[in-house]
Structure formats: structure tokens, C-alpha cells
A = this chain, B = another copy of it.
Amino acid sequence: MALIVQKFGGTSVGSVERIEQVAEKVKKFREAGHDIVVVVSAMSGETNRLIDLAKQIMPQPDPRELDAIISTGEQVTIGLLSMALIKRGVPAVSYTGNQVRILTDSAHTKARILEIDDQRLRGELAAGRVVVVAGFQGVDEQGNITTLGRGGSDTTGVALAAALKADECQIYTDVDGVYTTDPRVVAKAQRLEKITFEEMLEMASLGSKVLQIRSVEFAGKYNVPLRVLHSFQEGPGTLITIDEEESMEQPIISGIAFNRDEAKLTIRGVPDTPGVAFKILGPVSAANIEVDMIVQNVSHDNTTDFTFTVHRNDYEKALAVLKQTAESIGAREVSGDTNIAKVSIVGVGMRSHAGVASRMFEALAKENINIQMISTSEIKVSVVVEEKYLELAVRALHTAFELDAPARQAE
């Protein structure tokens, strides 16, 4: 018998029918003898409906009042799911963030969880009840209702699992696990049985939008085993856990991540003096533009070339900022390119294996794909290539790092 926290997002509880299906799933786990805490989001569309209503009155809604309004979405779902369980003979009870007491700071619409009181939940579990908790919300020291911001329900799930020392936090989604890469790009992509928190963070931030980064960080910090599962299909999903080399037969590379959302900017012929990087990037971040990859080439003729990537939505703005900078620091020219894509190989196995990067470059060279930028971290190598080569690059790397699923036996 285990204590399991199960989190279902807005799509999974998006209609009465789906709520009934979720109740069936919870019932099965209950009947298998587990103690269950369920965390749910608002029914899909509901949070947006409430935000729209608020914005009709106040285009920049007062944060405290917005939280009071949008937190009602989850409150409706917990009541509905509890009833769907009770109807099935599964004792259940709903808890708002305030009722649990999920104490947060007072940063309305993006509050951080400070403390969870597990007393009442433990009492309900001991009494044999499934506890259905509203995700995304909490309450501050003064009793004001707060919300946790984007992906907040995942965070609630992980935080509850940590507070209750749950055996597992299951995040139900519309995919049946984390894949070696996007199956829409590589047909032979495989579901991973296990992945480490670090790898998952790299995969998530690189565009595998299965889990919110924040909840993965949180789970890693408190060592809460996370499992990604499909809401309405059976299957073991993917377990995200700490790096236990002895028990995990670690492949060198766990997956290939990619991202089409970036654009590249280059400033050439920059006088190479100390502080030049700050002179270039300072105005960019002052304009609230997030920079991802940064590459500075070795200097020659006392000038250097400087390249970085930003989100495509910020490209025009960044280009304008950069042109101004070029003028003020006397750089030669500014250029940019939105036809790029970033491809990354991710894996903790890299730490103990040399030559991973060169194996990557070799695979790309074989396909005549030119590498425009390279950036590396301890468990990841990212390259920027021309966008049209993206799929080819991902497939080539997937094969090169032996991630392809075995071909099915012909009948």
C-alpha cells in the first residue's frame, strides 16, 4: 500500500464525462489499496473565462481580486470530482488551498508555497477518504487567497507529495510518458521508462512541454518521484527520479530535444574590450528580452563577433536594441536570422562518457547539416542549425545515439 498524489489537469477534467473517467481511475487505485490525494485544475477554459470577465472590468486586474476570482475554477472541480467518487462508493472530500492550508507568500497571481499543513489531510486519509485538493491556489498569512501562476497545479501536486512524503506524485497528461524525442518528428521515438530530474529539466526547457519546469525543480529539490502518465490510457508512463546510477541502466543520451521558437542575432566587428558582453546584453535584458544561447568568437584584429538567441516574438525588438548598441559602441554590423532551430542531446550519461559532442557533430556532418552555434552544459549539447534541417537533424541524432525503437516484427 502506497500513498500516491495524483494530479489531473484542465483537459483531464474538462467535462462531466471526463471527471467521471478520472473518478473511475482514482477508484481503481483506491481499490488496489492505496491512499490517494487527488489534485485538480479548473475545467479547461474556465480560468480563461474568469480572466476575461475580470479584464472586461479592469484591463489590468487587481491581483488580489483576480486571485479571488480565478481560484473558484479549481473549487468547482474539487466538488464535482468528490461527488463523482462518492457516487461510486468511494468516500471522498474536497479541500480548497485555504482548507488544507497551503500557506504561500503574498505575491498574488505568482505566489510561492511556504508551508503545507498536512494534519487535516492525514486525518482524512486515516479515515479512509480520498482527498481532492484544489490545485493552483493557496492562502497567505493574512488569509488572502493566492494563486501560484502557470503550471501551479503541478506545483501543488508535488508540494503535497513532498509534505505527505508520498511514495509517488503522478502527473496525468495527454501523453503517455516522456519520449526520447517528439514522435511526430521521429516515428521511432520511444517512451522512456525513467529519466532523471536534471534530464527532464533540460528536456522540458528545450521544448518538451509535458511538465512545468517549476514542478520538476520542486520535485527534484524534495526528491519526490514524479510519474508522467496518460489521463485516459493505461500504461506505466515515465518515472522521473533522482540519478541512481547503480539501479538505472543509463543510456548515454536520454533524448533529443528541439525548439523552433528562437531567432539568432549577431553583432560583428565589436571592439574587444573588457565589459563588451555587458554593453551588448545589458540593453537587451533592460528591454525585458530573455536571451538563451550566447556565443562569442575569439577575437581577431582587436574586434570580436558576438551571437545570441532570443524568442522569435522578441526578435524585432532585440534587433532594434542591438542596432542602437552597435552604433554607440562602434561595431561594424548587425545581422539576424529567424530561420533557425535549436537541437539538443540530453543525458546524464554524458558526465561519464567522453566524445559525446563529437559523435553528435559527426552525425550532423554526415547529413551535410551546417552547425551555426554550439553551446554545452554538463548533461546537454545544443546546436543551432538552419530551420529546414531540423527534422533531419533530430532523426539523425536519434539513430546515432541508438534511441530508435526496435523495428516491429513483420507478421
Contacts and interface: CB of A to CB of B under 8 A. Distances in A.
Nearest to A144: B99
A66 B79 contact: yes
Contact of A16 (B53, B69, B143): B53
Contact of A62 (B19, B66, B83): B83
Interface string A28-60: 000000000000000000000010011011100
Nearest to A87: B58
Given A16-B57, A57-B84, A84-B57, A72 B68 contact: no
A20 interface: yes
A58 B72 contact: no
Contacts of A143: 99
A72 B79 CA distance: 11
Interface string A70-85: 0110011011101110
A250 interface: no
Contacts of A144: 99
A293 interface: no
B54 A83 contact: yes
A53 B80 contact: yes
B53 A76 contact: yes
B78 A94 contact: no
A259 interface: no
Interface in A87-113: 87, 93-94, 96, 98-99
Interface string A135-156: 0000000011100000000000
A56 B87 contact: no
Given A62-B86, A86-B62, A99-B143, A79 B54 contact: yes
Interface residues of A, number: 36
Nearest to A50: B76
A93 B94 CA distance: 26
Give how many copies assemble into the complex.
2
A69 B84 CA distance: 13
A83 B98 contact: no
A218 to B, nearest CB: 26
A103 to B, nearest CB: 14
A83 B58 contact: yes
A220 B20 CA distance: 47
Given A54-B79, A98-B98, A143-B99, A64 B84 contact: no
B75 A94 contact: no
Contacts of A57: 16, 19-20, 80, 83-84, 87
Contacts of A83: 54, 57-58, 61-62, 65-66
A76 B72 contact: yes
A68 B62 contact: no
A140 B86 CA distance: 21
Contacts of A71: 75
Contacts of A79: 54, 65-66, 68-69
A26 to B, nearest CB: 14
Given A16-B56, A57-B20, A76 B84 contact: no
A93 B64 contact: yes
Contacts of A76: 50, 53, 69, 72
26 contacts: A16-B53, A16-B56, A20-B57, A53-B76, A53-B80, A54-B80, A54-B83, A57-B80, A57-B87, A61-B83, A62-B83, A64-B94, A65-B79, A65-B82, A65-B86, A66-B79, A66-B83, A68-B75, A68-B94, A69-B80, A71-B75, A72-B75, A72-B76, A96-B145, A99-B144, A99-B145
Given A16-B57, A99-B144, 13 more contacts: A19-B57, A20-B57, A57-B80, A57-B84, A58-B83, A58-B87, A61-B83, A65-B86, A68-B75, A69-B76, A72-B75, A75-B75, A99-B143
